[in-house]
Structures are given as structure tokens and as C-alpha cells.
Structure 1
Amino acid sequence: MSEISTLAILQQLDRQRLKENPYSPHSLADEDENTRRQYCALLFMVLLNQGPIGEDQQRMLQLWLPTINMEGRQAELFQMAVKLSQEGLAEAIDTVRDAGGNHCFMLDCLVFSRVNAPLTQSQVTLFEALAQMLNIGEVQMDTIVYLTCLIIGLPVENRKPRHLALGLHALSVWHEFLTSYIDQLFSELKEWARENDVSQISLRKNISDLAGITTLDLYPSSWKNIAPFPAGLSLLVNLDWLGFDSFKITEFPDSNVLPQTLGGINIGGYGQISRLPDSICHLKKLKKLSMPGSNLKSVSEKVYLFLKNNAIEHSISDSCFIKGPQ
């Protein structure tokens, strides 16, 4: 009589789950194929750095790959990963950065690596180097480690960061495991709204109530001292227009915090924002950007091309661009 294989049973259950209750789409699911291939190959390179893929990792990959539209291409990605370890690594990292995949990549790497076993010192060293290359700061890394613990069920008592640094978009594929974190984002957003007298948010009782907010106009002078936006602002999943003018917001908000649905942003001059970060290019639905150009010192060619190629309406002077219009 043949032995019953637990792994075979689990694989059948995983296939059934894919049909009935798949993971949520990955935040890069809509990127072009080259971006998704590079992203996945880079992830595989990190995993293979410590040896063959383990059973738990393999099961998770079977559920994860469809979320980024790469189902059934594991062998191809293995080959790409081996090549990346020898050459082409810089291009792959640039691709991930350009797509705004910095944070979700690090989160994916940690989840897949840590589910197999505790991290080795060589893995820690590799992750530190990757974090530096991907421009992930200490505060953001603390949040990513905390999220990893929540996803794979590790103790989090001493892991909760002081500041929640990641918004909803970077977490999309792992949403079902992060209910408590999303609740924390909501609590942090409500607290910010109460402290800054934003009743449009503070009066909402449930996260689902935020879906009705499509416009958030904080431009009137009564909000000139409003504090920088928390990561919970990303919970406004239908926000189309954001306006603000505050002495305390002196930098353009992180695209990780801003809802990805934004079609228009209106910024006043109180904060004297002097720089438009390249991360604004991750706001794929942006159609209008209004802000004083007098404070801008320079705008990169990447941002210039983003504004131009997407026909985004703006009033930024040509003199603000580093290389100017081509």
C-alpha cells in the first residue's frame, strides 16, 4: 500500500485555494512583463543565495506567482536568477526602483526567506546591502520587519515600530495576513485627523467608510499648520483630489503614503517645497499637479519626462528642470 504524502495533499489544497481564494494582486501586477520578470528573478536570486528552495517556500511561490502574472514560469525565473548573480544586477535593481517596488520587494524577500528558517548572518548582510541600494531607510525597514512577523506568524511584541511607514499599496499581495496592521493604519489616520481637525476623516467609524472620500481639500488657511500625512492616508482608496497648504509639510509627500488613485494634487506655498522626488512618477493616474514653481530648485529629467509623456497639466517653469525640455 502506498504511503500518503502530506506534501501531495497540501499541494492539492493549494491548487484549490488558487481557484477559490487566491492571494490579492501584487502591487506590480500591472507593470510591463520585463519589469515583472526582473522583479521575480531578483527575488529568486535572493532566495537561491542560501541554497535550494524549501518546501514551504515552494508552496508559497505557487500561490504568489499568479499575483504578479508569472504563474508557471518558475524554471525561466531560476535561470534568470542565476544570470543575475553573475551580471545584470544593477539593471534589475534599477527596474525595481523605477517601478516603485522598493518596499514590496524587500517585504517579499523577507517573507520568503524567513518562512524557511531564521535568517543567517550572510542573509542579514545581503538584506542590509539591498536596503541601501533600494533607498530603504531605518524607519521603513523597521516597518517591513514588523510586517514580516505578522505575515508568517512570528511574535511581534517587541517588533512594533514607533512609526508605521508603509502604506496600503506596497502590502497588497499580503492583505489577508495584515488585518491588524491595516487597523493600526486606520487608528493612526484617525488620530492625525482629530489632532488636525480634519472632520472629513475623523468622523468615519470604519475603514470602509473612507471609500466615500474622493476629494480632500485642506487648502484653506485654517489648515496652514496641518501635520505631514500618515501612512494611513493610503486607506483613502478612492481619493482623486488632494489639496493642502501647510508650513509643516516641507517635503512632497512620499508616494508610498499617497493613494495610488490620485488624479490631481494642489499644493500651496506655505511649506516652500523645493523638490519634486522621482517617486512622484509612481502616481500612475496623476493628471494635474498645481504648486508654486518659485520654490522649486530643480526637477529631475525623469520627473520632467513623466509629466510630459503622461500629458500631466502643471505650471512648473522650464527653468526648474535640471536639463530642461529636450
Structure 2
Amino acid sequence: MYKEPVFLDPVFQERIWGGSRLQTLFDYQIPTHLTGEAWVISAHENGPSVVRNGALKGKKLSDVWREHPNLFGRNASDDEFPLLVKILDANDNLSVQVHPDDQYAQKVVGKPCGKTECWYILDCDEDAEIIIGHKARSQMEFQEMVKNGEWQNLLQTMKVQKGDFIYVPSGTLHAIGKGIVILETQQSSDITYRVYDYDRTDRHGAKRELHLEHALTCTMYPHQDFLCEKLREKKGNLTSTRLVEETYFTVYHWLLKGKMEASLAAGFLMVSVIEGAGEFGSEDCKMTLKKGDNFIVPATIKDYCISGEMEMIVSHTSNAAIGLK
């Protein structure tokens, strides 16, 4: 039985809009000053995280998922690791884009799932804003406004600040704005359809590809705002705020000041330390925690404790169950 958390090293992705704040904020050893994404808990084929501790050290998370189903409390027949956690540094505006739902991804793209996601704002510049949704009343009106470049009339913007949470279901037109660092929890999908990219070019002078036909089909008409009802619970030294609970994932913000005890009745947890430091302890191990650490609490650890002064983003799938003591 595997009795320690599975710590993961991130996989970095260079992006035209990336920067260097992943190093500044989390002391990550980024490869370039255009590092846009750290895939911190990922089994996706385009960037699987690597285990950095224990008997599984050096293995890709995708291989661990396939070879050790008991660690996740799952059936061996489950094909894909369901979720992906990223930290994004938007040193410039991301493209205006949309993601497909499961049905479209499976039937049209031949991929196992679409992409519903959510964002926790880790840091941002003053007056930073995101694009979330559009103002068109129909697909025809949307198409006409895109054709005419009426971006200011079409796009719905919202100012954000550190600690904000945004739920972005598939079909939602969206973009992360310049000067924002987010932690994103999403389905394990890498399907993105760009609608608008500010006519910018890459280092070779080429514009990035747009995907208007797919985007027109996948976008929600009219846009619908989804407001998540946050549920805050105080348990001793832990303040747990459930940010969202939906079909694909449940996400919490944990604020710990001292020591907490918890149990894992089913499934597994994914944990990202976003501030502070502390220690993880179970019957068989003790491990230090620091800002920037990302790990999985496997199904084989039933009881554990975490101590320290920390903020964490914690997520799990619908078949997991946490008990706070």
C-alpha cells in the first residue's frame, strides 16, 4: 500500500502571452521568459507531470494512473485521468476562445472529453480584467459581429482581483486578461477554439490560427452567467470554502492556521499550496510543504493531518469524499 502523498513536478509550456511570474511567485525554474503555463497536476498526453518522490519517482502521472489504479480508488477500466490543474501567467492578453462540451469533443474531434474549467485568481495587476461571455442574442448576430470586428460591442468584460473565483463551463466565450496569474482546474482536455487574437504575430511574423467554424458551433447563445454559491465551513484551525461543486470537479479554498485532521473516505485529492508552508503527516510519513507544491493524496491514505500557515486549492472528482475532523 502506498502511504505517502504523490508530489509532482510541473511541465512548463511556452506561450506567446507568457512571462516570468511563475518563477517570481513560486520559485519555479521556468525555461524561458515566455513561460505561460505550468501544468502542475497533469496526465494529459501534451504535458504529463512527473512524480518527484517515493517508489514512483520519475514516473509520469499518466503511467501511474494506468499502472496503479488502487492509488485513485478507481476501476482499471477507467481510461483517462479526469482532471488537469494549471497555473497560468498572462503577461499579455490570451486569445478570445471557447471550448467544446463532451459530446462535440467525442463526435467531431475524437477526444474523450470537452473542457469545462474554473479559475482562482492568484495575483493580478490593478484594474485587471477578463472576458467572460458575449452580448450577441443569437448565433447569426454573433457571426455578424465577429465578421465586422465589433469586439467592443460583442465581448463582455469583468474586472477581477486577487482571490476571485470564476467558473467557465464549456461553450463560454472567454479570455484571461493581461497581468493576471490564475490557478485553473479543468477537465483533462487541450481543445481550444480561437475566435480573436488581437491580430498579433509570433516571433516568425505569423498570426496564430483561428477556428471560427468550430467556435461558432460550440459557443453558447445567448451567453448565460453561471454564479457559484460558495459554502464556507470552519473546522478548528481550517476555514474551508467550497468554490464550486459540479459534474466534473469540486474545488475548495483551504485557509489553515495551525493543525487540521482529515480523512479520505473515497477517491483521491489534488492539492496545490498557493501561500505559506507547513507539513503533511499520516501514520507512515511526514513531509514538508511549501508554496508552489502540488500533490495528490492517494486513496490508500485514509487518515492524515496538515499543519502550518497555508492557503491551498483542493479539488476532487464527484466520486471522492472528504471528512474534516
Give the TM-score normalised by the residue count of structure 1: 0.28
Q: Which has the higher strand share?
A: 2
Greater gyration radius = 1
Q: Which has the higher helix share?
A: 1
